[in-house]
Amino acid sequence: MTRTRRLAAAYIALAAAVAVLFALNLFWGSVSLAPGAVLTALLGKGGDALAGNIILQLRLPRAVMAALLGAALSAAGYLLQTFFANPIAGPFVMGVSSGAKLAVALTMVVFLDRGMLTSSATMIAAAFAGAMAAMAFVLAVARRVQRMSILVICGVMIGYICSAVTDIVVAFAQDSNIVNLHNWSQGSFSGMTWANVQAAALVTLPVLAAAFLLSKPMAAYQMGEEYARSVGVNVRLFSAMLVLLSSLLAACVTAFAGPISFVGIAVPHLVKQLLGSAKPLHVLPGCCLGGAAFCLFCDLLARSLFAPTELSISSVTAVFGAPVVIWLLVRRSQEGAR
């Protein structure tokens, strides 16, 4: 069985990449720490208190979050691609991330004006509401137009509208919040707390598990809605689940790290090529590993490339993700012309 061997090799490679990048994220930073100091901090053997703080309170939660949200983001992308039967669908291009962003920005401004701190749960709820609103709009459009390209353009337009509104909201926010809000709206993994990680994990992990359990009907659905129905899939329930799960994942990511572009498209595609399979059963775990590795890698670049200045995470993911999307579009049109 060459296929199982290939799958195993691919999973091992992905896991190794995640491990190596995770380690690099801990060792590498604006404050240079000796590897020994990092290890002692991780093992909790006292030592330098500052180094311990940097590792345990800053770098470790940030790395865990990057891995977690990366996995969530690529899984969300894969679910949307399955739902729309389009390889360039994703939370960012469909405007779902932007919808969540707008809702979160509004919530933050309202809450901060009243001097309240926004809890993780509130943020996720707001993001989810925004994501669902954007999704509802996209679905309404999808019912009218059959052409996927038009649907994607609509999604992008919704994204622009939401971003513009968010910018206006930010402009009217109090000065003290602006920097914070601005950073967030560009997308960043900085400033993650363990509380954030906990909340994100509570949402993301069950949703990912649920998505994995849907991989059987997903495989049938990939062959067409009609076919799925003919083999006994409850298509209505199944597509509702797909929309719900992908929106939850995208909302969760947006609530903590702001909109992050192209991960949802690029990672599933690269993973499929690596695995040599498009079966959801194989691709979903691969997506989680691949998304984690990709976000760890991009975050590493974002904070170390021009240190101490941090780049927004979207700037980095776009540089690596956008070319994949362009390549996908070109290949698709070539095949269409064939």
Q: Which residues are at the interface with other proteins (CB under 8 A)? A: 85, 87, 213, 215-216, 219-220, 222-224, 226-227, 229-234, 272-273, 276-279, 281, 335
Closer of 95 and 280 to other proteins (Cβ):
280
Closer of 233 and 311 to other proteins (Cβ):
233
CB 282, min distance to other proteins, A: 10
Closer of 64 and 271 to other proteins (Cβ):
271
- Give the pair of three-digit tokens for residue 105: 């920005």
Cα separation, 199 vs 197, in Å, equals 5
CB 145, min distance to other proteins, A: 18
Closer of 259 and 285 to other proteins (Cβ):
285
Q: CB under 8 Å to 71, separation ≥6 — which residues? A: 204, 208, 287, 288, 289, 291, 292
CB 267, min distance to other proteins, A: 15
Cα separation, 329 vs 333, in Å, equals 6
Closer of 50 and 145 to other proteins (Cβ):
145
- CA atoms within 13 Å, Cβ hemisphere of 266: 23
Closer of 48 and 225 to other proteins (Cβ):
225
Strands (E), the chain: none
Q: Which residues of 127-163 are buried (b: 16+ CB within 10 A; e: fewer)?
A: bbbbbbbbbebbeebbeeeeebeebbebbeebbebbb
CB 87, min distance to other proteins, A: 8
CB 307, min distance to other proteins, A: 40
CB 216, min distance to other proteins, A: 3
Give yes or no for a contact between 254 and 97, defined as CB atoms under 8 angstroms apart: yes
- Give the pair of three-digit tokens for residue 152: 């994607």
Provide Rg for the chain, Cα atoms.
20
Closer of 175 and 226 to other proteins (Cβ):
226
Cα separation, 94 vs 157, in Å, equals 9
CB 17, min distance to other proteins, A: 21
Q: Is there a cis peptide before residue 308, judged by omega within 30 degrees of 0? A: yes
